Amino acid sequence: MPPPAAKPQPPRKLEFTMNSLRNTTLSTEDDSMHFEIVTRFWHPNITKINKFDMETRELVTVAEIEGLQTREPRVRFGGEKAQWMSAADFLKYDNEHLSGGTFKATEDTEYRWKTHRGRFQLVKADDPEKKPLAEFHPHKRHFFVFRMSRHAYFEVQPIPEIMQAIDKFIGGC
């Protein structure tokens, strides 16, 4: 009798600590994936996305977004030595769909943000099934007013392809 088939891994839950997208932390419960998104008051025009490297125990800048309040925001991936690119070149808006857009994680892999039944989802652009690889779940409050009963989070499928592209995934949010 063959051994039982391996159970599929459950989705990873990247939880937001704050409701501000410009100053928050995204992390899993065990902190195996930990991102810090911060806009410093002395640089109000630059938002940095830092990733905690478990091996070196330090924060590494993986992406920067400049000029969110301007007409021409820019992004760059890979730290200080990387080249700036227009945000419109990175996240291409689709006139056919009113919300979302597409971005390339690698040269041959393209993803698309979309909404489905009021949920913000990330799908592979060429997937005919349009199976979501990541899905945003908003926060909930007690009686719609009081403290949060559940923080907002991204539910990310544990596919090696998306786990490798997670830096651009967080930068493309």
- Does residue 173 register a pLDDT over 70? no
Instruction: Using pLDDT thresholds of 50, 70 and 90, give the confidence band for residue 84.
Output: very high
**Integer-rounded Cα radius of gyration of the chain:** 17
Closest CA to 38 of 50, 29, 27: 50
Estimate to the nearest angstrom the gap between the alpha carbon of 170 and the chain centroid.
2
More confident residue, 2 or 30: 30
6 in a structural domain: no
Task: Say if 53 falls within a structural domain.
Answer: yes
Domain that holds residue 47: 12-171
Would you place residue 171 in the very low, low, confident or very high pLDDT band (cuts 50, 70, 90)?
Answer: low
CA distances (Å), origin 145, targets 141, 142, 148, 149, 152 = 6, 6, 8, 10, 16
Can you give the pLDDT at residue 144? 64
**Is 120 contained in some domain?**
yes
Among 3-12, 60-69, 159-168, the least confident range: 159-168
DSSP 8-class letter at 31: S
- Domain membership of residue 34 (yes or no) is yes
Record the tokens describing residue 121, joined without a space. 């989802």
pLDDT tens digits for range 121-161: 888 888 888 888 888 888 777 776 767 777 888 888 888 77
In whole angstroms, what is the distance from residue 132 CA to residue 135 CA? 7
Model pLDDT, residue 80 = 82
Residue 103 lies in a domain: yes
Residue 18 covered by a domain = yes
Q: In this structure, is residue 156 part of a structural domain? A: yes
What does the alpha-carbon distance between residue 166 and residue 160 come to, in Å, rounded to a whole number?
10
Residue range 153-167, pLDDT digits in tens = 888 888 877 776 776
* Tokens coding 125: 């652009």
pLDDT band of residue 172 (cuts 50, 70, 90) is low
Sorted by sequence, the CB contacts under 8 Å of residue 27 that are 6+ apart come out as: 14, 15, 17, 33, 34, 35
* Integer Cα distance of 9 and 22 in angstroms: 31
Number of domains the chain is built from: 1
Judge whether 82 lies within some domain. yes
> Do residues 51 and 62 lie in contact, with contact meaning Cβ atoms separated by under 8 Å?
yes
> In this structure, how many other beta carbons lie within 10 angstroms of the beta carbon of residue 97?
13
Token pair listed for 85: 């690119």
